[in-house]
Amino acid sequence: MSEPFGNPLLVVPDAPGPHQPRSGRRGSGFLDGPLRLGTTPSATVGPYLAIGMTWPDGAWAAEEGTAGAFWIRGRILDGAGDLVADAMVETWQADPDGGFASPEDPRGAASYPGFRGFARSHTADPPGEFAVHTLKPGRVPDGDGGLQAPHIDVSVFARGILDRVVMRIYFADEAEANAEDAVLRALPEDRRSTLLATPADDGYRLDIHLQGERETVFFAV
């Protein structure tokens, strides 16, 4: 098998490529259409992501001892039902008042004591399990005059996944808010539960199924 991937033309340049960001039309003052640089294609994190992507304080979106903080834990499972012990889960969310620790929020960057909004958890220990220490996010506007239910945006990276996959964590004990949430309402009823974390001893639990009968609802962002 000399050419297992069967593409003799390996590299087809386009223009302007990312190596020539300064080329192309400029200075004319007119653009006859959107002029965009091509985005860099993603690649798998591979099996050794722990070298570059783990932080000692990674799991702590909320610092230890923050009032109201809890753990969200869960397993990552593949299509055979086996644990995925070399994945990375990253979470991003609003604080309990519905603010984001980000200058990109047009309402202004929020600051909430002891809270970072972001966490990342490798799934090596215990194998296949992630854990983030956080606070329940508040409700934030949905852009159509309503409020979203409390939710956390999640990226999952792993060997064997070439581009991150994105899901949301909602909370099973927020039934009233969940019933009003535009994103949840647009999903078939029998699939919504794949995004609902359920109360547990020290917080909440939600397993992420990459494939299978209970494949998690993943989003294209």
Partner 1 sequence: MTGTTSVGGPHLPRYHREDAALRTPVGFPDYRSTALRAPLRTPVDLAHRLTEVTGPVLGEDRVLPHDADLTLRNGGEAVGQRILVHGRVLDSDGRAVPGALVEVWQANAAGRYRHVGDSFPAPLDPHFDGLGRVVTDSLGRYEFMTVKPGAYPWGNHHNAWRPAHIHFSLFGRAFTQRLVTQMYFPDDPLFGQDPIFNAMPAAARHRAISRFSLERTQENWALAFEWDIVLRGSDQTPFETDDDGDVA
Taking CB under 8 A as the criterion, which residues in 6-65 touch partner 1?
Answer: 7, 9-14, 17-19, 21-22, 24, 26, 31, 34-53, 55
- Comparing C-alpha atoms, which of 169, 206, 192, 194 is closest to residue 76? 206
The dihedral built from the CA positions of residue 9, 15, 18 and 20, taken in this order, carries a sign that is positive
Shortest CB 131 distance to partner 1, Å: 18
Among 24, 46, 108, 199, binds Fe ion (CB under 5 A): 46
List beta partners, residue 119: 91
Shortest CB 46 distance to Fe ion, Å: 4
Among 72, 75, 89, 90, binds partner 1 (CB under 8 A): 90
Residues whose CB is less than 8 angstroms from the CB of residue 75 and which lie 6 or more positions away in sequence, other chains included: 83, 128, 129, 130, 207, 208
List the single partner that 111 binds among Fe ion, partner 1, none, CB under 5 to 8 Å by kind: none
Shortest CB 172 distance to partner 1, Å: 19
Q: Per-residue string for binding with partner 1, 125-144, x by CB under 8 A? A: ---------------xxxx-
Among 59, 60, 117, 174, binds partner 1 (CB under 8 A): 117
Name the residue with the smallest CB distance to Fe ion: 46
Question: Does 157 contact partner 1 by CB under 8 A?
Answer: yes
In the complex with Fe ion, the residue whose CB is nearer, 124 or 166, is: 124
Residues whose CB is less than 8 angstroms from the CB of residue 74 and which lie 6 or more positions away in sequence, other chains included: 129, 130, 197, 205, 206, 207, 208
Cα-Cα-Cα-Cα dihedral of 208, 210, 212, 216, to 10°? 50
Shortest CB 38 distance to partner 1, Å: 6
List residues binding Fe ion (CB under 5 A): 46
